[in-house]
Structure 1
Amino acid sequence: MMTTQMVAIDVPQPLYRRLQRLAELTRRPVETLVAQTLDANIPPLPDHLPEEMRADLLALESLDDESLWQVARSTVSPEQQKEHSRLLTKNSRGTITEADRGRLDQLSREADRLMLRKAYAYVLLKWRGYRLPTLAELEAQAG
C-alpha cells in the first residue's frame, strides 16, 4: 500500500465547485480526483534514468528560457536524416554491413537522445508558464 501525505491548499470557489461536480459524475472523492490530476500533470523527473541520460536532462533544468527554447526547437541535421534513411533502407533489404549497422545504431541513439532532450525542454518550459506549440504549429515549423 502506498503511503500518503496530507497537503492542505486553498483553491478558488469556482475550481472547487468543478471538482465537486466531477466527483459526483465519476462517483469518486474530491481528494482522489485532485491526487490523480496532480499525478497526471506533474512532469516525470529524470531520477530513474541511466546516469548519462539523467545528467544530460538535469543540466537542462539550469538553462535559461531562451536556451530551453533552442533545445526544444533543435532538429537532426538533414545530412544525418538522409544517412539514417539510407541505412534503414539497407537494413530492411538485408544488405547492411556490420559497420553500417553500428553507424545506424549510433544515429538512432543520437536521435533518441535528441527527442528526449526536446521533450524534457518542453516539459520545463510548460512548467515555467509558457504555452507550447500545437502539433500543427510544430509541423509548420518543420515544413
Structure 2
Amino acid sequence: MNEQTITLTLPNSIYDRIRSTAQAASITSEEVITQSVSLLLPAFESDIPPNLRFNLTKLPLLNDIQLWKTANSRMNNNQQLRLEELAELQKHRSLTRIEQSELDNLMNEAQQIMLCKAESRRILAQRGHIVFKPIEH
C-alpha cells in the first residue's frame, strides 16, 4: 500500500481524545487517526471490495419489499456476540493474530451490512418511502 506522511497540528483536547482512544483500544494514535479519517471520508469505488460492489449494484433492481428486508437486516446473533466479545477483549489485552484476523473479518462483515442497509434506505427514500420516522416535538 502506498502511504503519504502528513504533519498535522491539533488542539490538545483532540490530541488527548486520540491518545485516550488509542490506549483503550490498544492501538497507536496513528491507527486511531487513520481509522477515523477512513470512516469519515466516502470510499472511492475502487476501495470497495468487488463482492460488496456487486451487492450494491444489485440493490436498485430489488423490489420495495426486498429493499426493506435489506434495510432492516442485521448481522447474525452469534457473529454480533463474537464481535462484541473480541472488541471487549481487545480493551484488556492484545489480541492474538487469529483473534485479530477474526475481528477484522467480523468488522468487515458489519461494515458491509451497514453499507447495504444505508444504500437500501437511500433507494427507498428516492422511491418516495419514509425511511426514518420524523421526530415529534
TM-score norm. by structure 1 comes to: 0.57
Q: Does the C-alpha gap of structure 1 residues 92 and 117 become closer, same or farther in structure 2, counting only changes over 3 Å?
A: same
State the 4+ residue runs in structure 1 displaced beyond 3 angstroms. 46-49
Number of equivalences? 92
Q: How far has the Cα of 1:54 moved from its partner?
A: 2.1
Aligned AA (1:118): K
* Aligned counterparts, 1:84-99, within 5 A: 84-99=83-98
After superposition, where does 1:1-143 map in structure 2 within 5 Å? 50=48, 51-134=50-133
Q: What's the offset of the Cα at 1:48? A: 5.8
What is the aligned-residue identity percentage?
28
Q: How far does residue 90 in structure 1 lie from its aligned partner after superposition?
A: 1.5
Q: Please tell me whether Structure 1 or Structure 2 has the larger radius of gyration of its CA atoms.
A: 1
Coordinate RMSD, CA, aligned: 2.2
Q: Which runs of 5+ in 2 are unaligned?
A: 1-41
**Cα shift at 1:133:** 2.5
CA distance, structure 2, for counterparts of residue 56 and residue 73 of structure 1:
16
Return the alpha-carbon distance in structure 1 between the equivalents of residues 100 and 66 of structure 2: 34
Cα 1:127–1:63 change in 2 (3 A) is same
CA gap of 1:47–1:100, structure 2 versus 1, over 3 A, is closer
Q: TM-score, normalised by structure 2?
A: 0.60
Question: Which deviations, in whole Å up to 9, do the C-alpha atoms of 1:42-88 show, x marking residues without a partner?
Answer: xx9x8565343322111111101100000001111222111111101
- Partner residue in 2 for 1:21: none
CA deviations over 1:25-50 (Å, ceiling 9, x no partner):
xxxxxxxxxxxxxxxxxxx9x85653
Q: Which has the higher contact order (CA 8 A, sep 6+)?
A: 2
**SS of the residue aligned with 1:117?**
helix
Rounded Cα–Cα distance in structure 2 between residues aligned with 1:128 and 1:103 = 38
Listed one character per residue, the Cα deviations across residues 97-131 of structure 1 (whole Å, up to 9, x for unaligned) are 11111000000000000000000000000001111
